[in-house]
Structure 1
Amino acid sequence: MLIVGAGSAGSVLAERLSADPACRVTVVEAGPAPTDARVAQQIDNGLRLPIGTASSVVRHYLTTLTDEPPRRVQITRGAVVGGSGAVNGGYFCRGLPADFDGWQVPGWAWRDVLPHFRAIETDLDFGGPLHGADGPIKVRRVSEFDGCTASFVAAARSLGHPWVEDLSGLEPGAPAAGVGAVPLNIDSGTRTGPGGAFLQPALDRDNVHLLADTRVLRLEITAGRATAVECDGPAGRHTVTADRIVLCAGAIGSAQLLMVSGIGPAKMLQDLGIDVRANLPVGVATSDHPEWVIPVGWTPTHDVPPLEAVLLTESGLEIRPYTSSFAAMVHGPEHDPADRPHIGVALMRSRSRGRVTLASADPLAPPVIEHRYDSEPADVADLTAGAELAFEIAGGIAESDEPSWSTSQHLAGTAPMGADDDPRAVLDEQCRVRGIEGLWVVDGSVMPTLTSRGPHATIAMIGHRAAEFIAG
């Protein structure tokens, strides 16, 4: 068994599959191993985002957020054991039951995925049938708010928005709108994601092997079956063979690997001189959470998680009081003398769809990413309404009357699952690539639509759920 990518899904999947001593698991990761001296000092502190230009645990991509006018920004993905789950803000909230039921994919309804959400977590605040008590990832919420978060929660509740006691404990059909504390995979200031909680302990097993600092360039496909990957790492270029190959390289990385290997939209591949192995709609209708950002004059709060509470509205907007400026989150408060918190207005059920395409057949050339956030006027109208609510919550101390376009960096759906008659589906309901034997995709790529919460907990769950399919 070969797993490409040790991100949130790949780490969970590797641990689950290697629990069977008869299954030999090789994990290929482009970023550094946990033993690298640079890693712990960057990723352990859950109160800091190690995503700046000097970071050795992330990879940066350019994207175009909007079409009119084109807004070019940089987005970040984790390149380390644990992936983006090792460098994010600790938001570990489940998708809503209606998200999974809405996928209408057999085996992925809420009743199917709930046991896997429970299995990955130990919830330190809530018990009962909706929460896990002995999973590897500890989840807890801030119980007493300070500074800007306290101001935000008080203002939201004064406007009539109800308090939601447990954002991850909603039954099907229960109202989701309201303000509540964010479930965090940060315990005593330390971020514990799937890389540290699942894969690192599994590396002590004799049947698990990690190839770190090794980038997979393309898949080798013979007679309709994936048989090997071409790698470039400390030992130079070499080939690794396997009877089963699972791509867990993230929505960008997995899509690019599929396409450079001949799995994707036929015309694009042919135009680039790539032999077509399977004509599939890889990267043609991606989704993300568009976000508008408004700086506010609340007192910044340091040495706390970047996001401690959120407000979800009936229209699917998540209003986020970030505890300090982005610069302070990345570099520390002393980096930004004008440090100010800000409110994010994120549309969690956006209609717009973006694209991930190849610029070149060269696997080392970055792909072309287009979010196309302004392609749906209804999305812009919803964001405008959300900004008006954010200004109302801010109570007149917003430092700009014009929100700036941003992104939640939750790109998903580049290789979605679906039924046999679904023309959008790249994968079947068990994450197998259609038309290619011995090949699966297991990460945020597989989501038919993005969840109404941030996707990290859902992606970890996907790794846990898919292990059952791949193990047979």
Structure 2
Amino acid sequence: MIADAHVDVLIVGAGSAGSVLAERLSADPSCRVTVVEAGPAPSDPRVAQQIDNGLRLPIGAASSVVRHYITTLTDAPPRRSQITRGAVVGGSGAVNGGYFCRGLPADFDGWRIPGWAWRDVLPHFRAIETDVDFRGPLHGADGPIKVRRVRDFDGCTASFVAATRDAGFPWVEDLSGLDTDSPAAGVGAVPLNIDSGTRTGPGGAFLQPALERGNVELLSDTRVSAIRITGGRATAVECAGPAGRHTVTADRIVLCAGAIGSAQLLMVSGIGPSDRLRELGIRVRADLPVGASTSDHPEWVIPVGWTPTHDLPPLEAVLLTESGIEIRPYTTGFAAMVHGPGHDPADRPHIGVALMRPRSRGRVTLASADPLVPPVIEHRYDSEPADVADLAAGAELAYEIARGIVESDEPSWSTSQHLAGTTPMGNDDDPRAVLDEQCRVRGIDGLWVVDGSVMPALTSRGPHATIAMIGHRAAEFIAG
């Protein structure tokens, strides 16, 4: 047991948003910030050897920097799958494939939330990056995260790009350089936060330098089990770590534990759907629709006979159609992404067909009041027939692009692992909103959520860059 402590701001989770937020708030030397992270610290010798190589995904069964969850992708028939979340400083941004493309301007304007329109978020996108390839008013030149693109394609990526151009799709010079009037359809190089083969995610680019300040503390290998709420205000969190069980009190508490972790922590602390909380014997502090309308990018996977391209990022270019389908030519098989070339000779490169503006909504619900028991996750990808029809049309296009080298007549259901929206922001009249427009939990003072949970709708591109932006944007609200 260690002595209880008090800080100005307590951040639960050192993922992409939490890392950026901690750096931003601690820039004020009078603000004492503590970050609690369930995973290991960068100083753990196991960490660097797993996360530094941006050309590998350290997400296999033996990984010590991820946590695995079971989900049901579809209802009829039930298709169960495993999803992975980073459990390390940097979160999922420390273990992913380096895709760091912004959401489209129409995504943010479509949220219709004050303070989150494209004109509001663009300065924060610029602030987090140094774009090595492009300059100008749409790009950052001195942010901590280096962004670059592969220019000379080889192997399957080169074949894919040539096939899309032959099919009449335009080349999009800069997928992160689109403004409100820019056409989004076409093929282009993926902006990557991989520098000389090494990931430069928010954990390393933002939080680690901030830890040199005297007003920032990191409690790694420490799990938060509950938020303490007194008189309608969040006042502390209960933790368990290397030094035993203890409590940290704070003036402001911010959950940055990801779409699964933040939602589960709210619910076990009494903030969530009241009927389910009462069934589990949890005292209801605020009846809110936590986990009731989640979203993710459904993906169909098609094995292809392209020659694998090793020692390159898993995804170097994508095609986005006007109907919101993103077609992804993965450079190698999944086993090679995780374990390296030669692990499974039968493993082949594949094309992913992802629906980037899905209508379907899933659920995250508590299975138990015990915070160590994983929640029930249901993607419900087949709940909207129009989504299935769009995926089928996207698969047909993918077959045309990869003509003659497809190794399966039937795509298989998968997921982009972009679960979001478990605690969405919204206006006062939005019945789905768990948070207000400044990421404050409705009905509870002193408590915010800042991560992918807050998105009321997924962006039309992978969410990593957007989640880092959310951390940068929300710092202005929490700093007051």
Is the shorter-chain TM-score for this pair beyond 0.5, marking a shared fold? yes
Aligned pair partner of 1:58 in 43, 66, 72: 66
Match for 1:418: what amino acid?
A: G
Q: What secondary structure does 1:71 align onto?
A: strand
Identify the residue that residue 444 of structure 1 maps to in structure 2: 452
Asked if 1:356 is matched to 2:364, the reply is yes
Matches within 5 A, 1:181-260: 181-260=189-268
Which of 13, 16, 25 matches 1:8? 16
Partner Cα separation in structure 2 for residue 226 and residue 235 of structure 1: 23
Please point out which of 397, 408, 411 is paired with 1:389: 397
**1:433 matches 2:458:** no
From 370, 376, 383, the counterpart of 1:368 = 376
Letter of the 1:72 counterpart: R
Distance 2:182 2:337 in 1: 34
Gaps of at least 5 residues in structure 2 are: 1-8
Question: Which of 411, 415, 418 is the equivalent residue of 1:410?
Answer: 418
The Cα shift of 1:232 comes to 1.0
Task: Return the offset for 1:184.
Answer: 0.1
* Residue of 283, 291, 296 corresponding to 1:288: 296
CA distance in 2, matches of 1:159, 1:26: 53
In 1, Cα distance between equivalents of 2:192 and 2:477: 28
The answer to whether 1:135 aligns with 2:143 is yes
**Residues 73-88 of structure 1: matches in 2 within 5 Å?**
73-88=81-96
Is this contact kept in 2: 1:300–1:339, CA < 8 A?
Answer: no
Q: Give 1:334 shift.
A: 1.5
Which residue of the partner structure matches residue 283 of structure 2? 275
Displacement over 3 Å in runs of 4+: none
**1:402 match: secondary structure:** coil
Supply the distance in 1 between the matched residues of 2:307 and 2:371 (Cα, whole angstroms).
46
Q: Any idea what SS the aligned residue of 1:258 has?
A: helix
Structure 2 CA distance for aligned equivalents of residues 339 and 282 of structure 1: 39
1:323 pairs with one of 327, 331, 349: 331
Matched, 1:302 2:310: yes
Q: Distance in 2 between matches of 1:255 and 1:339?
A: 35
Residue 94 of structure 1 is matched in structure 2 by: 102
Equivalent residue of 2:468, what SS? helix
1:177 aligns with 2:185: yes
Structure-2 residue corresponding to 1:465: 473
Deviation at 1:336, TM superposition (A): 1.3
What CA distance in whole angstroms lies between the structure 2 residues aligned with 1:365 and 1:173?
Answer: 46
Secondary structure in 2 matching 1:195:
helix
Q: Which of residues 341, 348, 352 in structure 2 aligns to 1:344?
A: 352
Cα shift readout 1:105-136 (whole Å, capped 9, x = no counterpart): 00000000000000000000000000000000
Contact 1:9 1:463 in 2 (8 A): yes
2:4 is aligned to none
In 2, the alpha carbon distance for the partners of 1:200 and 1:380 equals 43
SS of structure 2 residue aligned to 1:183: coil
**Deviation readout 1:421-468 (Å, 9 max, x if unpaired):** 111110000000000000000000000000000000000000000000
Q: Supply the AA of the counterpart residue of 1:190.
A: T
Partner of residue 155, structure 1: 163
Task: Return the alpha-carbon distance in structure 1 between the equivalents of residues 331 and 247 of structure 2.
Answer: 46
Q: Structure 1: which amino acid aligns with 2:390?
A: D
Q: How many angstroms does 1:173 deviate by?
A: 2.2
Q: 2 CA distance for matches of 1:457 and 1:205?
A: 25
- The aligned counterpart of 2:3 is none
Equivalent position SS for 1:23: coil
Alignment TM-score, normalising by the size of structure 2: 0.98
Name the SS for the 2:42 alignment partner. coil
Q: Distance in 2 between matches of 1:305 and 1:397?
A: 22
* SS of corresponding position for 1:63: strand
RMSD after superposition: 0.5
Give the SS at the match of 2:396: helix
- Counterpart-to-counterpart distance in 1, 2:18 and 2:304: 38
1:401 aligns with 2:409: yes
Cα deviation for residue 218 of structure 1 reads 0.7
Matches of 2:116 and 2:179, distance apart in 1: 16
Equivalent-residue separation in structure 2 for 1:92 and 1:352 (angstroms): 24
Query: How many Å apart are 1:238 and its aligned residue?
Result: 1.2
1:313 aligns with 2:321: yes
Work out the CA distance in 2 between the residues paired with 1:84 and 1:48.
Answer: 13
Identity of aligned residues (%): 88
Is residue 68 of structure 1 aligned with residue 87 of structure 2? Answer: no
**CA–CA distance in structure 2, aligned partners of residues 334 and 49 of structure 1:** 15
1:420 matched residue in structure 2: 428
Amino acid at match of 1:319: I
CA distance in 2, matches of 1:292, 1:396: 19
Separation of aligned partners in 2, 1:187 and 1:212: 26
| SS of residue in 1 equivalent to 2:25 | helix
Name the SS for the 1:436 alignment partner: coil
Equivalence for 2:5 = none
Count of residues in correspondence between the two structures: 472
Kindly state the Cα deviation for residue 235 of structure 1 after the two structures are TM-superposed. Answer: 1.1
Letter in 2 for 1:245: I
**Which of 444, 447, 456 is matched with 2:464 structurally?**
456
- For residues 339 and 377 of structure 1, what CA distance do their matches in structure 2 show? 31
The letter of the residue matching 2:22 is A
